[in-house]
Amino acid sequence: MTLSEFSVQRAWSTDRRGPMRWLWSHIRRNWIWVVGVFAGALANAGLAGVVPMLSGRAFDVLQADPGNLQPLLGIAVLIAVSQIIRGLTQIGRNFSSEVLGQRLERDSRDEVYGSLMGKSMSFHDSHATGDLMARATNDVREINLMFNPGLNLVIGSASFLIVPVVAAPRIHPALLIAPLAYLLLYVVSTWIYLRQLDPTTRAVREQFGEMNTVLAEAIDGVETVKGAAQEARETGRFRRAVDGWRRAYIWQSDVEARFYQLLLLGLVQTAALAGSLILYQAGAINIGDVVAYNGLMLLFMFPTNVGQFAYSQVSSGIASARRILEILNQETKLDENAGGFGEPMAGALVFDQVTFGYDDAPVLHEVSFRVEPGQTIAIVGQTGSGKSTVAKLVNRIYDVQQGRVLIDGVDVRDWDLAHLRRQISIIEQDIFLFSRSVADNIAFGCQQADRGEVEEAARKAQAHDFILGFRDGYDTEVGERGMTLSGGQRQRIALARAFLTEPSILILDDSTSAIDSATEDRIQRAIEEAARGRTTILITHRLSQIRWADLIVVLKGGRIAAIGSHEELLEQSEAYRNIFASYE
């Protein structure tokens, strides 16, 4: 079973051992619509074969008695009725195919989204957001298109290939040679075509992901691009990415141009016409049989004409399924440990010989300290000393590589991850707000909170007054990442979000850096109130916050240089005095 930080419980599961198995596990749950596609395709092809057979009979009737048109009326009625029924079966087939494609797109997108939400930060750190977006949107869309119109046309064309093979020997056994030969040639040439097409469709999908990555980075960092006047450079970078996608598409088009079935069909139809005329001259068949037989051979036009497009769409869908499986099957380094320890948290925190690094870059080395419930600890150090990493190990954004992090005497890896994180609030310097109302952003971690509780949390965070100053107050929609707000406003909303959840452990990672000095005293009082009775971790350069911490940990180069109170460290630790002097 694939490890996951978070998993969605569904009534269905999928087989992820390969793209075809994965697709089939989605298809089989919608078997009734699959039956509709096959039944409609077979009926459509069979009724299409009725027209040449009845037309051949009409020729025989005219040849036998040119003046008697009465039998032709009956044949015309039969043709009309058969084609009306055929039209209805086509509607049924296309409807079934559309429903099947839409359901598979819906279910696969749900599966991909749930998987992405369940991946650890180490996964997201190593994958470009643009490429993940391409897989979750465009590649999933290709799954739909693979079934409709892709496989819908493939199944329909396969039925048209069968009808002449079945019907021709009923006219004369020798007439089986031409349709059977074309069927064999079609299957072999299509197999070769698909093998040549596969790498091209893979390349197109991969290049699309690369192009989407460049686009997403440019849009996400547009402020930086404009600030450095690098619009022309980034436009050129995107143009090169588009050119890579274009070259892959041209490669695919070159392969599609080698779809030789149309040439083969022309040769086979010529041979079929010649063979039927030879049999007619020999008296083995009549003129009506010649008409019917060559009309049946025309049925091969449908699979030949749509095959180039349909098989390309199927190949693209399989390539997309392969790309989707790459992220579905990638194990995260964290497990949600559902059913693990989940008691109410007192807040005792212990780092026991903790060592951690990002990939090959070590960050923390044998870090050990203890925080009692209700205490406030400040973690200080120069940039790059590992301060923020400490916070990310507490709520298991990352797992330690050596040593242990204990909360209430229980290793955080033994906690039920959801229970662990619900009782810990972390506010970082880079605040993320969603494109929703101010109230919804504050209540994000406590969805059941009413408006009164939201407003009370905002008052504690000194955010209530400026929120009321907005035109729609708490119902004001904020832009993506809260870009319509100032830095201080974003951080106070994040503080309100943390206050509302009533966490047992509160982590403030330089969370007041963007607050002006006029607001700092009020925020400081709010933080002191929020910290009362709960374990608080302060990662800050604010001297006013460092001073009132019960315990101060000084990090230097990922190791603990000193631990103690403010007064003790001023006396005993040169590293702390240097840091303190730099802050002043």
Same domain for 278 and 357, yes or no, is no
Q: Which residues, in sequence order, are CB contacts of 12 under 8 Å at separation 6+?
A: 29, 107
Q: What is the pLDDT of residue 1?
A: 46
Per-residue pLDDT, averaged over 470-499, amounts to: 81
Query: Could you tell me what percentage of the chain is helix, strand and coil, using 3-state DSSP and rounding each to the nearest 5?
Result: 65, 10, 25
- Cα 70 to Cα 60, 83, 211, 409, 520, distances in angstroms: 13, 21, 66, 97, 100
Same domain for 288 and 431, yes or no, is no
Same domain for 321 and 411, yes or no, is no
Same domain for 104 and 233, yes or no, is yes
Per-residue pLDDT, averaged over 523-549, amounts to: 76
Domain membership flag for residue 342: no
Q: What is the pLDDT of residue 518?
A: 62
Per-residue pLDDT, averaged over 405-421, amounts to: 92
Per-residue pLDDT, averaged over 504-520, amounts to: 71
pLDDT band (50, 70, 90) for residue 385: confident
Q: What is the pLDDT of residue 42?
A: 94
> Can you read off the two tokens belonging to residue 168?
């021709």
Better-scored residue on pLDDT, 498 or 522: 498
Q: Which residues, in sequence order, are CB contacts of 165 under 8 Å at separation 6+?
A: 176, 179, 180, 183
CA torsion angle 166 42 53 167 (round to 10): 0
Report the alpha-carbon distance of residue 563 to residue 580 in Å, rounded: 14
Number of domains making up the chain: 2
Report the alpha-carbon distance of residue 118 to residue 298 in Å, rounded: 53
Among 328, 360, 386, identify where a domain stops.
328
Q: What is the pLDDT of residue 482?
A: 63
- Cα 86 to Cα 45, 89, 193, 477, 538, distances in angstroms: 8, 5, 31, 53, 73
Q: What is the pLDDT of residue 460?
A: 82
Same domain for 152 and 286, yes or no, is yes
**For position 100, which CATH number holds?**
1.20.1560.10
Same domain for 70 and 155, yes or no, is yes
Per-residue pLDDT, averaged over 516-527, amounts to: 65
Sheet harboring 424-428: ordered strands across? 424-428, 505-509, 535-539, 376-381, 551-556, 559-564
Q: What is the pLDDT of residue 583?
A: 55
**Cβ density class 34-45: b for 16+ within 10 Å, e for less:** bebbbebbbbbb
DSSP, collapsed to helix, strand or coil, labels residue 144 as helix
Same domain for 370 and 303, yes or no, is no
> Is the pLDDT score of 514 beyond 90?
no
> Is the pLDDT score of 7 beyond 90?
no
What would the pLDDT profile of 207-242 be if each residue is shown by its tens digit? 999 999 998 888 878 878 888 888 888 899 999 999
Domain membership flag for residue 75: yes
> Is the pLDDT score of 529 beyond 80?
no
> Can you read off the two tokens belonging to residue 193?
């075509």
Better-scored residue on pLDDT, 144 or 427: 144
pLDDT band (50, 70, 90) for residue 143: very high
Q: Which of 540, 374, 545, 529 is nearest to 459 (CA)?
A: 529
Q: What is the pLDDT of residue 457?
A: 87
Better-scored residue on pLDDT, 267 or 519: 267
Do residues 407 and 348 lie in contact, with contact meaning Cβ atoms separated by under 8 Å? yes
> Is the pLDDT score of 437 beyond 50?
yes
Per-residue pLDDT, averaged over 39-58, amounts to: 93
Per-residue pLDDT, averaged over 64-69, amounts to: 75
What would the pLDDT profile of 237-291 be if each residue is shown by its tens digit? 999 999 999 999 999 999 988 888 888 899 999 999 999 999 999 989 999 999 9
> Is the pLDDT score of 2 beyond 80?
no
Same domain for 88 and 138, yes or no, is yes
Residue percentage of the chain with pLDDT more than 90: 47
pLDDT band (50, 70, 90) for residue 515: low
Q: Which of 82-96, 265-279, 548-562 has the lowest mean pLDDT?
A: 548-562
Domain membership flag for residue 4: no
Per-residue pLDDT, averaged over 346-367, amounts to: 89
Phi, psi of 529 (to 5 degrees): -65, -45
Domain membership flag for residue 7: no
Per-residue pLDDT, averaged over 378-401, amounts to: 87
Per-residue pLDDT, averaged over 56-72, amounts to: 82
Domain membership flag for residue 568: yes
Q: What is the pLDDT of residue 516?
A: 60
Q: What is the pLDDT of residue 161?
A: 93
Same domain for 302 and 355, yes or no, is no
**For position 420, which CATH number holds?**
3.40.50.300
Q: What is the pLDDT of residue 512?
A: 61
Per-residue pLDDT, averaged over 181-210, amounts to: 92
Among 282, 297, 328, identify where a domain stops.
328
Same domain for 323 and 439, yes or no, is no
> Is the pLDDT score of 67 beyond 90?
no
> Is the pLDDT score of 114 beyond 90?
no
Among 277, 293, 328, identify where a domain stops.
328
Per-residue pLDDT, averaged over 356-364, amounts to: 83
Same domain for 374 and 461, yes or no, is yes
Better-scored residue on pLDDT, 511 or 127: 127
Q: Which of 129-133, 170-174, 544-548 has the lowest mean pLDDT?
A: 544-548
Domain membership flag for residue 336: no
Domain membership flag for residue 563: yes
pLDDT band (50, 70, 90) for residue 520: low
Instruction: Provide the domain limits for residue 417.
Output: 349-583
Same domain for 360 and 290, yes or no, is no
Domain membership flag for residue 1: no
Q: Which of 504, 580, 116, 559 is nearest to 367 (CA)?
A: 559
